[in-house]
């Protein structure tokens, strides 16, 4: 094989469509655009979602809800998960290493769900009022 003999595979290259070149081409006269109307004319296109002046669907439907940009950076952990963790001192890094919170989490809060019987000291982690009471009742502290 030589560089000057390389050719594309048979049927890989097709001639481009030459529209408006006479009746014999099959694409003469209206050039495949049909008759009349905005789409038949040069420059006759419009923005996505345009419905000919009718109120577009995206404006007819009600607005609903939103996606919080900070949701990925906030995480929750339960008292039951703290009990299972089995560490005396807990901080955000320890929770990430244990796989209890997402790696992107910046703030973590303990919620009152489940029981806590062992002493746990929280560093840099928030807690709800009920969770804080449960932690302190078990001999721990929230810092």
Phi, psi angle pair for 105, to nearest 5°: -60, 135
On whether residue 80 sits in a domain, the answer given is: yes
Number of domains composing the chain: 1
Global model pTM greater than 0.85: no
The answer to the question of residue 123 being in a domain is: yes
**Rounded average pLDDT over 126-140:** 94
Domain hosting 86: range is: 72-142
CATH number at residue 107: 3.100.10.10
- Per the CB < 8 A criterion, the answer to whether 141 and 108 are in contact is no
Which pLDDT tens digit goes with each residue over 3-31? 999 999 999 999 999 999 999 999 999 99
pLDDT tens-place string over residues 39-69 = 899 998 889 999 989 999 999 999 999 999 9
> Which residues make Cβ contacts (< 8 Å) with residue 95, sequence separation at least 6?
75, 77, 85, 101, 105, 108, 125
């Amino acid at each position: 094989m030589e560089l000057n003999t390389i050719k594309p595979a048979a049927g890989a290259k097709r001639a481009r469509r030459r529209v408006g070149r006479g009746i014999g081409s099959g694409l003469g006269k209206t050039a495949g655009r049909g008759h009349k109307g905005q789409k038949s004319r040069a420059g006759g296109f419009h923005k996505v979602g345009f419905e000919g002046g009718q109120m577009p669907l995206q404006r007819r439907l009600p607005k609903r809800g939103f996606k919080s940009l900070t949701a990925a950076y906030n995480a929750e952990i339960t008292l039951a998960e703290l009990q299972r963790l089995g560490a005396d001192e807990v901080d955000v890094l320890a929770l990430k290493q244990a796989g209890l919170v997402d790696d992107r989490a910046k703030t973590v809060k303990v919620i009152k769900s489940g029981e806590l019987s062992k002493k746990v000291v929280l560093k840099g982690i928030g807690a709800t009022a009920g969770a804080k009471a449960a932690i302190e009742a078990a001999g721990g502290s929230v810092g």
